[in-house]
Structure 1
Amino acid sequence: MNETPRDPEHPTGHGPYDDTSAYDLGPQPTWAPDDETATQQVVPPAYAAAPAAPPARGRKGFAAAVVAASLVVGGAAGLGGAATWSALEDDGAGTGSPSGVQTSQVVDTPVSDAEPGSVQQVAETVLPSVVRIDVSSGQEGGSGSGIVLSSDGQILTNEHVIAAAGEGADITVSFDDGSRATATVLGADPLTDTAVIQAEGVEGLTPATIGSSEDLRVGQEVVAIGSPFGLDATVTSGIVSALDRPVGVASDASGDATIYPAIQTDAAINPGNSGGPLVDTNGHVVGINSSIRTSGSTSGASGGSIGLGFSIPIDEVLPIVEQMAAGETPTHARLGISVSDATAAEGQSGAEAVIGALVREVGEGSTAGDAGLEPGDVVVRVDDTMITGSDSLVATIRSYRPGDTVTLTFVRDGEEQSVDLELDTDAETS
């Protein structure tokens, strides 16, 4: 079965003091078909039931068959065919064939080197650094993709991929050369939907080259690689459709939500692509494919790609990935407030409504409280990033690190104000 990328929906509000949302996700995704079923879906039953083909005649036999078929068609043309041949012969344009019918040529296509920056060249560069991950525990399980970080088997993937079958599940990694290995979890972070696993007993792997998501531009060409529906080493291409798209996809037991400022792309991303790389035309990893927006299904099953895929920007999570790879507990920046969408506040309507994140509660001793924020304030900007709602604020704050200083702009009683503050951390203190 294949791990289904998350399907973001709309928020209904945020819990106290955690900068996170509770989400109405609608029907929970069901497992996509396993690899064998997926293969059967790709090959229509009519093809499977077709009678066996006669022995191959070889390339010359094929050419002869084409000529014979052409002659039959030409003969069936009757008087019209003869008249055409006569006209061509008079013009000196004949091919030398008695019937005057031209046939398809069978030629060898020479192999050419991939053009720099082409999808072909990117695929040749990146495929050795992409793996398939299968997770199973009893009757539960799923599959996804991963990115090789080190030659000795450290692999980056989505947290929801390795959590597919719960704690204690068996994890198997399949590599580009066809080899396989078991793996253990080094670290997992539900808030950013990232995880790092360690493949056992491997060496000489090809680590991916990590790029910069900050340098991306809307319209830029990108390539997604992974194992959708268990189809290993699948390459799709598209463009960056949008940047800093706030995407919220789930909440854990504590109410903390997975929210990130996503890279939106129209490169086809389907169940099983989760954890695989989104790369630029240099073959550098700029994102981790994580979720999709689908049109849904009347049967409750998760749909496929409709050109709305979302990737986690690599710049935002690389410090957390490094923490997990080192065996440390991931930490995140926070303001210490509870927020909701400002447009849902009472008394706001029409053009006079202030768009942003409405402060509902302020945690005692939080950085936001020390900076003077109060319930009823509407946060509209963090540094130069516009805040369009609660998800937008949470995603933006999580793109920073604890201890970073930001300029927070908010509206109080119709007046815009700004304050500089140092972001808190969610790290546990003893």
Structure 2
Amino acid sequence: MNEQQPSPEPPPATPVSGVDDGQGRRIGPRPLDRPPVDPTQAAEFGRPDGVDSAFAPRAASAAANGSIALAPPPPEALSTAFSRPDSLGDVVLQRAPGSVPYGSEPTVEPVFWQDSADRDPWRDPGAGAILGPPAAESGSDGDDGAAPPAKTGPLLSVPELLFGRRVKPVALASLAGVALLIGVAGGLAGWAIAQAGNPLTSSVTLAQVDSPGKQAAPGSVADIVKRTQAAVVQIEVQVGSGGGLGSGVMIDAGGYILTNNHVVSAAATDPTATLRVVFADGTKTDGKIVGRDPKTDLAVVKVAVTNPTVIQLGKSSSLSVGDQVIAIGSPLGLSSSVTSGIVSAVNRPLQAAGEGGDPPVTYDAIQTDAAINHGNSGGALLDDTGALVGINSAILSPGDNTGSIGIGFAIPIDFARRIAEGLIRDGQVKHADIGLNARSVSAVSTDGAQVQNVKEGGAAAKAGIAEGDVITKFGDRPIRTADELSVAVIERNIGDTVKVQIVRQGRQMELQVTTQSD
């Protein structure tokens, strides 16, 4: 058996260099553990023979070249600026061990390590790791330079925001400017949407009206004319050496004038014709036809004007027989003539021959006894508030009498407005049609419109209406004449499905007809 060798005694502690105060001792480094080197690896990875270091000896290299390369001397200016003062002599910055320090430092070197220094975990690599708090609190000005986390401050009230001097005036002014821009943009967008939604109204000078439905006091006709006369114009059409006169009503700020088709039809068919518009103050300007609708005897003319007086549109559906009405136009070339009367009848079916080969004119007319003559066509029919309720269109004159006998007709504004909007938007309008011709019949038991012929593939043929049937009701409207049937159909929208009552060989039947485009 091998005898147990006694452990070597530790080397004595080395006293503090130069001074022994009898208390502390410097601790020497731990002995290095140098395991034996594998000869195979040493032969594979070791330095070549004759090489003792990773760097070539400078002295040997310089000796081989015969001289040692030295750095060139610094410039005189740098030497003067940064060299040691002559007063220091041979004094160097590093003092030798044991020498007396400069200044008033103690003559005894202070103890650097304590008795327990050998157990200090920072010195003992075998000591266990201990987790503790960070060296500096969060947000402190440590060596890492990290900025403290931002903290949410108290919310500002309106007085503090405006008067507490906690926000820069420039920021407040910028915020106010942004809010103002948003408000202006919203207002402009709303104005544009409103204008696009209703083509017959805009910010213009409107003819004022009183409260609707209220009977005006005596003498109110003069007041109404004073407020509305500027919105009624005279239309002159010159074709070669001839021509004609009519009237029109300004209905939109864009310069759109509503009139009758038969007033401007000559200018539409003859390219050499001229069309002039004369205002109430005598101003004249050229006009251009925007669109015509021969079936309803309506047309729209446009003139280039700024801020015209625009008539205010009323509701013809609110008229009753006996209501006071006023007609303004240019009868027989007498511009801005005014007549007054009452409503003689409403929903009067009217069908008249068209102009120059145009289809028959059909509409539900307002009948009035206000004097209407040639030249009043296209002029305004106003109610007792000054609102436009009709477009004067025709008169009834028996025999050779071509003047007024107290029976005039106007196109209701509720119907005319829809046609005007279509002409302004598209230049033309389409109407509902059922594809048949009829004539008025009257018998002891039945009055109505008797079908003369039915268009093949038309709405009436698809609904089963046959030649010889007598139509007595179209929707909710009783039919007593062929004119009433034409008016009832044209007032419907294209694609409407309507109940139709007919009498066929003495038997009453009800059919469903879907209107088509004419």
8 Å CA contact 2:324–2:342 kept in 1: the answer is yes
1:400 alignment counterpart? 492
Name whichever of 207-216 and 243-252 sits farther off. 243-252
Contact 1:317 1:399 in 2 (8 A): no
Deviation at 1:253, TM superposition (A): 6.5
Amino acid in the other structure paired with 2:237: V
2:276 and 2:297 mapped to 1: Cα distance? Answer: 19
Asked whether 1:420 is paired with 2:512, we answer yes
Are residue 179 (structure 1) and residue 283 (structure 2) matched? yes
Indicate whether 1:129 and 2:231 are aligned. yes
Structure 1 residues 361 and 255: CA distance shift in structure 2, 3 A: farther
Q: Is the 8 A contact 2:397 2:404 kept in 1?
A: yes
Trace 1:307-346 onto structure 2 (pairs within 5 A). 307-343=406-442
The amino acid that maps onto 2:370 is A
How far off its partner does 1:328 sit? 3.0
Secondary structure (helix, strand or coil) at the match of 2:353 reads: strand
| Identical aligned residues as a percent | 42
Deviations 1:376-398 (A, max 9, x none): 11111222322121111112211
In structure 2, what is the equivalent of residue 161 of structure 1?
263
Judged with a 3 Å threshold, the aligned counterparts in structure 2 of structure 1 residues 382 and 410 are, in CA distance, closer, same or farther, namely same
CA contact (8 A) 2:265 2:355 kept: no
Stretch deviating more after TM superposition (401-410 or 325-334): 401-410
Normalised to the residue count of structure 2, the TM-score between the two structures is 0.56
Q: Quick check: 2:259–2:300 contact (8 Å CA) kept in 1?
A: yes
Amino acid at match of 1:385: R
1:286 positional shift: 1.2
Change (3 A) 1:382 1:204: same
Give the aligned partner of residue 75 of structure 1. Answer: none
Tell me how far apart the structure 1 counterparts of residues 427 and 497 of structure 2 sit (CA, whole Å): 24
Deviation of 1:115 after TM superposition, in Å, equals 4.2
Q: Select between 228-237 and 319-328 the one with higher mean Cα deviation.
A: 319-328
| Paired amino acid for 1:119 | V
The alpha-carbon deviation at position 296 of structure 1 amounts to: 3.2
**For 1:158-184, what per-residue CA distance to the aligned partner results, in whole angstroms no more than 9, with x for missing partners?**
000012454222111111222111001
1:82-127 Cα offsets, whole Å, 9 max, x none, are xxxxxxxxxxxxxxxxxxxxxxxxxxxxxxxx94993223212221
What's the CA shift for 1:151?
A: 2.1
Q: 1:254 to 1:373 in 2, by over 3 A?
A: farther
Distance in structure 2 (CA, Å) of the matches to 1:243 and 1:397: 18
Say which structure, 1 or 2, has more relative contact order (CA 8 Å, 6+ apart): 1
Query: Do the aligned partners of 1:146 and 1:156 also contact (CA within 8 Å) in 2?
Result: yes
Query: Can you list the C-alpha shifts for 1:210-230, whole angstroms capped at 9, x where unaligned?
Result: 112222211111111101111
Change (3 A) 1:392 1:124: same
> Are the aligned partners of 2:239 and 2:266 in contact in 1 as well (CA < 8 Å)?
no
Answer yes or no: is the 8 Å Cα contact 1:131–1:174 preserved in 2.
Answer: yes
CA contact under 8 A between 1:226 and 1:234: conserved in structure 2?
Answer: yes
Q: Which among 298, 306, 309 is matched to residue 194 of structure 1?
A: 298
Shift of 1:356: 0.8
Instruction: Determine if contact 1:117/1:282 at 8 Å carries over to the other structure.
Output: no
Instruction: Give 1:257 shift.
Output: 0.8
Relative to structure 1, the CA distance from residue 408 to residue 121 in structure 2 (aligned partners, 3 Å threshold; closer, same or farther) is farther
Q: Residue 117 and residue 331 in structure 1: after superposition, are their counterparts in 2 closer, same or farther (change >3 A)?
A: farther
Greater share of strand: 1
Mapped to 2, the partners of 1:279 and 1:136 lie a distance apart of 29
Q: Which runs of 5+ in 1 are unaligned?
A: 1-113, 344-348
Are the aligned partners of 1:270 and 1:305 in contact in 2 as well (CA < 8 Å)? yes
Gaps of 5+ in 2: 1-215
- Opposite residue 263 of structure 2, the aligned amino acid is V
1:250-292 CA distance string (max 9 Å, x none): 1366672112111111011001000001111121111110000
1:304 aligns with 2:403: yes
Q: Which residue of 2 aligns with 1:262?
A: 365
Q: Does 1:139 align with 2:244?
A: no
Give the conservation status (yes or no) of the 8 Å contact 2:463–2:511. Answer: yes
* Whole-angstrom distance in 2 between the partners of 1:239 and 1:155: 25
Q: What RMSD, in angstroms, separates the aligned Cα atoms of the two structures? A: 1.9
Do 1:117 and 1:281's aligned partners in 2 also have CA atoms closer than 8 Å?
no
AA partner of residue 356 (structure 1)? G
- Residue type of the partner of 2:474? V
The number of equivalent residue pairs is 301
Structure number with larger C-alpha Rg: 2
Per-residue deviation, 1:312:
0.9
1:375 aligns with 2:474: no
Shift of 1:407: 2.3
**CA–CA distance in structure 1, aligned partners of residues 349 and 280 of structure 2:** 33
Match of 1:102 in 2: none
Q: String of CA shifts for 1:358-414, please: whole Å, max 9, x gaps.
A: 011122222222221111111112223221211111122112221233222221122
After TM superposition, the runs of 4+ consecutive aligned structure 1 residues lying more than 4 A away are 114-117, 252-255
What is aligned with 1:216? 319
